[in-house]
Structure 1
Amino acid sequence: MRIRATVAAVTGALALSAFAVPAAQADGSAISREDTAKVLDAAHAAAAKSGSRAAAAAADAPYALDVSISNVKINSGKAIVAGTTKQVTVPTTFTLTHGADVDVTAADFLVDVEIYKGSYAEPDNILFGDTWPTCRVVTTTTASCTGTIDARPGEGELWNTDAGAWSANAYAVAFNGEDPSSADFDLTKVGYAEQAKVGSTKLQRYSRLTVNASPEPVKKGKTITVTGALTRANWETNKYAGYTVQSVKLQFKKKGTSTYVDVKTVKSGTKGALKTTVKAASDGYFRYNFAGTSTTPAVKAAGDFVDVK
């Protein structure tokens, strides 16, 4: 289980490694995120500059690694949508460009793209993959890499305020045969590179929408009451809660046709409740359609058929 840490008042990219990280990678790598975090911390401390992307020349700092990361895509450009309990895993892809002297195929060369909420200097939260990305050599100085971002809303990794826009940062660490657990570990022989805001994504709270049109059957010209509810994941209670004061369209599809048409717009009320009335005109399907917001994805209810006599 990964535990979200409360962000302290730290400066620069140091905040990005201030979160709790697993003692070892899920893929069994000998070098853990905790080891790479220590390297990043040392580089940030040596640079003593907010958001610095290269280690300063110092006796106790890693050297600047000739590596850059570009063409970052999180979840193929789509928003990351998380429910209340189920782990969500989405892909990341990026291009790694490096100097000819950098061995990106080495077992102790590690690269990653993470996402963070808030500012780069003082992030509110960070998400990363359970395993390290893998890279395929394309040329002598470029590689194509794939990884993941993993989120566990059921384990306290997300707060409701985390919904919305996130940014991506990237880093690479070349240990060059140095053992971080050894007493003879020489940090100056370790290479380091880091980039902020290499990409962006949205993290959204999974939404649900229901509809019920009654009575059924109904005589032509009589009143039909259409109810429903718009709810979304609450990451702090691990339950679904009403999404209030949202505009939701009531739509109708006449029997024998394939297209829904807008009837009216309804505002969601207490607990996300939806309710309105229409006059029965012909057989068909009613549904509610929510367009979505920056924090909550669009959702359509399954159509509810009404038989008009």
Structure 2
Amino acid sequence: MRFRASAAAVTGALALSAFAVPAAHADGAGSAYRAQAGKLLRAAHSAPGKQGVTSVRGGTPYDLDVSFTHFKVAKAITVGTTHHIAATVTYTLNHGADVDITADDFLNGPFIYRGSFEASDNVVFGDEPATCKVVTATTANCTGKIDIYPGEGYLRNPDAGSWKGGALALAFNGQNQEHPDPSKVGVARKGGLGRTSLQRGSRQSVNASPEPVRKGKAITVTGALTRADWEDNKYHGYTRQSVKLQFKKKGAAAYTTLKTVKTDSRGNLRTTVKASADGYFRFSFAGTSTTPAVNSTADFVDVR
């Protein structure tokens, strides 16, 4: 589940009608959770009171006695242009004795957001609620997913970088989960529980020629460094980036760096070295805050 609009821009009853779940992901056991999590999070954000505490007022969900600790999410999540990404999140759910977390209509799950918690620029939920294992009468260990679908327009290139983690719990208390009375639904939500980074998927190619080559002659090594564009769902050259040309002699255990080359205005790489021995060439990119590290596959050159 995703939404881009600022939570602060939508209030009260309007918040409950302003969120639509993409039809492709609206079926199955988790449909009620997917359909309501974003709506009720917005409604809770719009309620009076301090962060994390809501009040019973008209169509506003009431404050649920639930909190979240020990939130863990991957340091970085790589997102390409086509494949669905499901990142695992674990956390501890703490609750009051009067909250029945085993009820069929008690749902909870993680989310990540960009910007401030109360007025986030973008939020990404999981498709399904988390699953929890009861530890004590008031605690449970939970595991949930963050589901990301490249190509659906919910991520833009500027979204690459730092995101924060949060969690949400919903107690429907017997309400129709698709059309609940918000004032009878309990909501607990908390931001700032952890941090992750969404990174644009990267690719690196290499080609060393000629093959075979005489010892002492020049070998030309070319390649291209590209990364995912979340707005047109294609890979484009990553320009002006430093990339290491590395070589591993046949029979050796590790690569050594020969030189550092910069990509041109189209993300292409080109350099030359002298042939010295049979071995493997590759380009190695160390990565940036928005793009993960990547090594090309090895290209073997026979030196005669």
Same fold judged by TM-score > 0.5?
yes
Output the amino acid matched with 1:54: V
Aligned to 1:27: 28
Q: Answer yes or no: is the 8 Å Cα contact 2:4–2:154 preserved in 1.
A: no
1:210 shift after superposition: 0.8
Q: 1:233 aligns with which of 228, 245, 251?
A: 228
| Structure 2 match to 1:119 | 116
Instruction: Note the C-alpha offset of 1:33.
Output: 3.8
Tell me whether 1:149 sits opposite 2:146 in the alignment: yes
- Name the amino acid aligned to 1:97: N
Matched to 1:28, the amino acid is A
Query: Aligned equivalents of 1:271 and 1:221: distance in 2?
Result: 31
- Which sits farther off after the overlay, 154-163 or 289-298? 154-163
Separation in 1, partners of 2:240, 2:135: 51
Letter of the aligned partner of 1:225 in structure 2?
T
> For the structure 1 residues 59 and 258, does the alpha-carbon distance in structure 2 shift closer, same or farther, using more than 3 Å as the test?
same
Does 2:176 correspond to 1:179?
yes
Match 1:293 to one of 283, 288, 295: 288
Give, as a single letter, the amino acid of the residue that structure 1 aligns with 2:92: T
What residue number does 2:54 align with?
55
**Please, which of 214, 221, 243 is the counterpart of residue 219 of structure 1?**
214
Name stretches of at least 5 consecutive residues in structure 1 with no aligned partner: none
Q: Is the Cα contact below 8 Å between 1:11 and 1:121 reproduced in 2? A: no
Task: Give the letter for the 1:111 counterpart.
Answer: N
What is the root-mean-square deviation in Å for CA atoms of aligned residues?
A: 2.8
Which secondary structure state, in structure 1, belongs to the residue aligned with residue 102 of structure 2?
Answer: coil
Q: CA deviation at 1:204?
A: 0.9
1:169 aligns with 2:170: no
Query: Is it true that 1:264 corresponds to 2:265 in the alignment?
Result: no
TM-score between both structures, scaled by the size of structure 1:
0.88
- 2: CA distance, partners of 1:181 / 1:255: 63
Mapping for residues 128-139 of structure 1, pairs under 5 Å: 128-139=125-136
Does residue 10 (structure 1) correspond to residue 5 (structure 2)? The answer is no
1:187-235 CA distance string (max 9 Å, x none): 4443221111111111111111111111111111111111111011111
Does the CA-based 8 Å contact 2:162-2:195 persist in structure 1?
Answer: yes
Distance 1:304 1:102, change over 3 A: same
- 1:62-73 to 2 correspondence within 5 Å? 62-73=61-72
- Which runs of 5 or more residues in structure 2 are unaligned? none
Match for 2:298 among 268, 284, 303? 303
Q: Say whether the 8 Å CA contact 2:112–2:165 is kept in structure 1.
A: yes
- State TM-score, norm by structure 2: 0.89
Residues 193 and 199 (structure 1 numbering): CA distance in 2 closer, same or farther, change over 3 Å?
same
Residues 1:8 and 1:29: Cα distance change in structure 2 (over 3 Å)? closer
